[in-house]
């Protein structure tokens, strides 16, 4: 995929709206995909072969690794059992970084990289820090009547202690396998926290420190069971032939009253409104916007083709009947923490189980600013972008929490320039 061309044409004015565009000439091709399969999960190999046949991906574009069948993998095991063989394959078969552009993780590849085990000294230090934090919070509770300066000093001490706890515990080294593997071509990079995505639309034309340059797009074909993955593939192909039809649902929290002095939550809520406006302006399908604090209730969102909304933490609401080929994501923490656990009510697992074809979610606490930009993501899809392209330009960070599940080549809409 030529992301340079892709970004230079990222924005297209449609009416009075600035709509992200995904020109047809920049589309990722089947021969640019590399599928990653876990030898320990035989169903994954069968799914890979099925997908390769359906999408005409060359059979040699497959890497077989052998790793845990669990959804979590330790950092050392990830490096040795997943990253190392993928890196070796790419160095051998694409040393100039011109042949392959996208990794596709197949059913059976772990979801999340756990933080490394702590050394004895770190465990002792962590206990001390938690005791220190408890004392500071006691001081904060007893600070009634003190000067604003004293209260601020206590709050600053609490923030510094919490940051040190995060550093010592290596909590910020938790990441999705997907987001980490996108940087597999990089020689070294820091593991503490996120790293900016060079293809993110919001960074276009800006100098951003610490930005990795050797980046691969990434996606996974995965689901609660192997049958779910076959359905995802079939539904994506069906929608490409027959068209994605239905309604677009956007679940904001408040009406967008304009203004510039907005909190982070208001900024993202406005982005949901903007995405809804882009879909409505496109004329692709009817749009339903909910501006109530409450979410769509059970049965209130039939024939859902597109969806973005928030905020119900790890508690899917059965409001939707999903159209074949539907695409959507819910903004909340750790909604892709598992897609296997049958009792889990996280949104990604439930949406996949109930018929959605593509979704996005984090494996842990991602912070709001790391969610994909909904107006860029849906705008790109609407103008003919593939699923993986639309995600890649709307996702702000790598080496972090996000996971894209679906057929990377899925293209639910033809470009505006090619006609509807």
Residues 243 and 262 in one domain: yes
Q: Could you tell me the residue range of the domain that residue 25 belongs to?
A: 3-115+174-217
Residues 178 and 36 in one domain: yes
Q: Residue 267 in contact with residue 261, Cβ under 8 Å?
A: no
Residues 262 and 351 in one domain: yes
Residues 59 and 204 in one domain: yes
Residues 34 and 151 in one domain: no
Residues 206 and 269 in one domain: no
Q: pLDDT 10s digit of each residue in the chain, 420 long? A: 333 333 333 333 233 334 444 544 457 999 999 999 999 999 999 999 999 999 999 999 999 999 999 999 999 999 999 999 999 999 999 999 999 999 999 999 999 999 777 778 878 887 888 899 899 888 888 888 888 888 899 889 998 988 887 777 776 778 999 999 999 999 999 888 899 999 999 998 888 999 999 999 999 999 999 999 999 999 999 999 999 999 999 999 999 888 888 888 999 999 999 999 999 999 999 999 999 989 999 999 999 999 999 999 999 999 999 999 999 999 999 999 999 999 999 999 999 999 999 999 999 989 999 999 999 999 999 999 999 999 999 999 999 999 999 999 999 998 865 444
Residues 253 and 375 in one domain: yes
Residues 96 and 26 in one domain: yes
Instruction: Establish if 149 belongs to a structural domain.
Output: yes
pTM as predicted: 0.86
Q: What is the CATH number of the domain that holds 373?
A: 3.40.50
Instruction: Establish if 304 belongs to a structural domain.
Output: yes
Q: How many domains does the chain have?
A: 3
Residues 209 and 185 in one domain: yes
> Which one of 217, 249, 279 terminates a domain?
217
Angle at alpha carbon of residue 307, lines to 205 and 9, rounded to 5°: 25
Instruction: Establish if 393 belongs to a structural domain.
Output: no
Residue 283's region, left for phi above 0, alpha for psi from -120 to 50, else beta, is left
pLDDT at 144 (0 to 100): 80
pLDDT at 417 (0 to 100): 55
Model pLDDT for residues 75-86, shown as the tens digit of each residue: 999 999 999 999
Residues 47 and 149 in one domain: no
Instruction: Establish if 400 belongs to a structural domain.
Output: no
Residues 106 and 7 in one domain: yes
Residues 71 and 110 in one domain: yes
Instruction: Establish if 228 belongs to a structural domain.
Output: no
Helix axes of 347-354 and 226-242: crossing angle, nearest 10 degrees: 60
Distance of alpha carbon 298 from alpha carbon 69, whole angstroms: 34
């Amino acid at each position: 995929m030529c992301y340079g061309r892709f970004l230079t044409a990222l924005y297209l004015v449609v009416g009075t709206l600035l709509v992200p565009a995904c020109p047809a000439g920049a589309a990722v091709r089947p021969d640019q995909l590399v599928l990653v399969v876990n030898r320990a999960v035989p169903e994954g190999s069968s799914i890979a072969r099925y997908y390769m046949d359906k999408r005409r991906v060359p059979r040699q574009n497959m890497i077989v690794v052998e790793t845990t069948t669990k959804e979590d993998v330790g950092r050392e095991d990830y490096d040795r059992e997943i990253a190392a063989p993928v890196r070796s394959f790419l160095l051998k078969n694409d040393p100039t970084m011109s042949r392959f552009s996208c990794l596709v993780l197949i059913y059976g590849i772990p979801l999340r990289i756990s933080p490394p085990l702590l050394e004895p000294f770190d465990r002792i230090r962590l206990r001390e820090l938690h005791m220190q934090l408890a004392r500071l919070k006691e001081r904060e509770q007893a600070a009634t009547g003190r000067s604003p300066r004293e209260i601020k000093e206590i709050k600053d001490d609490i923030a510094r202690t919490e940051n040190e706890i995060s550093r010592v515990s290596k909590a910020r080294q938790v990441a999705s396998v997907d987001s980490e593997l996108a940087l597999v071509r990089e020689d070294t990079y820091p593991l503490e926290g996120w790293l900016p995505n060079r293809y993110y639309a919001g960074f276009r034309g800006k100098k951003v420190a610490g930005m990795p340059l050797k980046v691969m797009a990434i996606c996974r074909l995965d689901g609660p069971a192997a049958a779910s993955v076959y359905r995802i593939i079939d539904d994506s192909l069906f929608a490409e032939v027959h068209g994605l039809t239905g309604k677009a649902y956007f679940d904001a929290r408040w009406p967008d009253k304009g203004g510039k002095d907005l909190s982070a939550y208001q900024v993202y809520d406005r982005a949901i409104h903007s995405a809804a406006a882009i879909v409505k302006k496109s004329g692709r399908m009817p749009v339903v916007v909910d501006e109530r604090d409450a979410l769509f209730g059970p049965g209130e969102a039939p024939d859902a083709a597109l969806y973005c909304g928030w905020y119900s933490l790890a508690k899917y609401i059965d409001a939707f009947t999903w159209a074949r080929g539907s695409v959507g994501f819910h903004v909340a923490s750790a909604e892709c923490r598992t897609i296997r656990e049958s009792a889990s009510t996280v949104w990604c697992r439930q949406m996949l189980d109930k018929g959605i074809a593509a979704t996005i979610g984090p494996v842990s606490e991602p912070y709001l600013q790391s969610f994909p930009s909904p107006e860029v993501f849906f705008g790109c899809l609407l103008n003919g972008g593939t699923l993986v392209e639309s995600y890649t330009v709307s996702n702000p960070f790598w080496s972090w929490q996000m996971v894209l599940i679906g057929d990377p080549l899925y293209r639910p809409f033809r470009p505006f320039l090619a006609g509807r």
